[in-house]
């Protein structure tokens, strides 16, 4: 591997072995470490010995190159974790990233579909050509019913839906397992798809040969369904369905802790992005239940 030094190689090996980091994650970290190593060496420093001034100069360079604050923050996160590893392994005593502020990120709300748009999307999925309709309907029902990540959906083995189980065991990020509920509609759609399969296979969503359906293959089907549904395909993705699941659950009264467990978030801070839905929900509660709200039947007031 060119670029990162031996310490970076050891760090990447740790990510793969201890945290079960995916290949794409490892490639992204390797690219960030290579970029930082080149910058540090140009200043006459080894990347594992770089100081806070070098880190600040590197971040300024990212900004001068026109990279967004979000991209810079992601790159800095990789370098932070690298230095945490160096300290943990006693390769260096100090952590210069502790002195570095993360780029300020613009607040962005998750994109999601309305409940009626999800209904229209599912109706369009059922109207696709039969072979595709079975697959895309089952996939959409599972995504929306359980808030799965697309990687979790496509990694489901056929055995996961054996019998009449009301719950589904999912392997999430970092190899962590969690249990998510199955709606009757999702279980029925998946069962119909499985009954129509003509050859054995390992995966619930079978791709070419013995491989699972790819993200690209499923993404293409989803865009086609969105077009038929009259929804801008740019607004529809597996992650948007996950956001829709979370937003609609919270709007209908789910609490954040339960939502955190369902989504497989390690930190509830991540789940809190969905609190954008709370103002609308609270307003509805007041309008519906407050005794002086329009349309509410106000009790007779006591006279003094």
Query: In angstroms, what is the C-alpha Rg of the chain?
Result: 24
CA atoms within 13 A on the CB side of 34: 9
Residue 170 pairs in a beta bridge with 178
Active site residue 265: yes
Q: Which of 56, 74, 158, 173 is catalytic?
A: 173
Active site residue 84: no
Q: Which of 149, 158, 178, 281 is catalytic?
A: 149
Q: Which of 242, 257, 290, 301 is catalytic?
A: 242
Active site residue 149: yes
Residue 177 pairs in a beta bridge with 171
> Do residues 225 and 238 touch, judged by C-beta distance below 8 A?
no
The DSSP string of the chain is: --SS-HHHHHHHHHHHHHS---HHHHHHHHHHHHHHHHHHHHTT--GGG--HHHHHHHHHHHHHTT--HHHHHHHHHHHHHHHHHHHHTTS-S--GGGG-PPPPPPP-PPP---HHHHHHHHHHHHTS-HHHHHHHHHHHHHHHHH---HHHHHT-BGGGG-TT-SEEEEE-GGG-EEEEE--HHHHHHHHHHHHH--S--SBSSB-STTSBPPHHHHHHHHHHHHHHHTS-GGG--HHHHHHHHHHHHHHTT--HHHHHHHHT-SSHHHHGGGGGGHHHHHHHHHHHH-TTSTTS-PPPPPP-
Q: Give the residue numbers annotated as catalytic, written as ranges.
A: 149, 173, 239, 242, 265, 274
């Amino acid at each position: 591997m060119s670029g990162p030094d031996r310490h970076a190689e050891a760090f990447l090996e740790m990510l793969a072995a201890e945290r079960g980091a995916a290949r794409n994650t490892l490639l992204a970290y390797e690219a960030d470490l290579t970029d930082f190593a080149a910058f540090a060496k140009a200043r006459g420093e080894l990347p594992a010995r770089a100081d806070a001034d070098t880190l600040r100069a590197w971040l300024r360079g990212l900004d001068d190159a026109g990279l967004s604050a979000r991209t810079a923050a992601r790159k800095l996160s990789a370098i932070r974790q690298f230095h945490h590893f160096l300290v943990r392994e006693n390769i260096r005593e100090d952590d210069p990233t502790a002195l570095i502020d993360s780029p300020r990120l613009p607040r962005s709300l998750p994109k999601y579909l309305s409940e009626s748009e999800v209904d229209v999307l599912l109706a369009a999925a059922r109207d696709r050509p039969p072979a595709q309709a079975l697959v895309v309907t089952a996939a959409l029902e599972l995504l929306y019913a359980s808030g799965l990540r697309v990687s979790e959906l496509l990694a489901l083995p056929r055995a996961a839906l054996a019998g009449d189980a009301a719950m589904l065991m999912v392997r999430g990020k970092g190899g962590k397992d969690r249990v998510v509920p199955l709606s009757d509609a999702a279980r029925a759609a998946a069962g119909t798809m499985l009954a129509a399969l003509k050859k054995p296979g390992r995966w619930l969503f079978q791709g070419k040969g013995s491989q699972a359906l790819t993200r690209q293959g499923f993404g293409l089907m989803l865009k086609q369904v969105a077009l038929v549904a009259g929804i801008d395909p740019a607004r529809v993705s597996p992650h948007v369905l996950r956001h829709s699941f979370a937003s609609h659950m919270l709007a209908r009264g789910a609490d954040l802790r339960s939502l955190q467990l369902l989504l497989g978030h390690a930190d509830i801070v991540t789940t809190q992005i969905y609190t954008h839905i709370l103002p609308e929900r609270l307003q509805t509660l007041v309008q519906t239940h407050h005794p002086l709200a329009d349309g509410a039947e106000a009790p007779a007031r006591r006279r003094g």
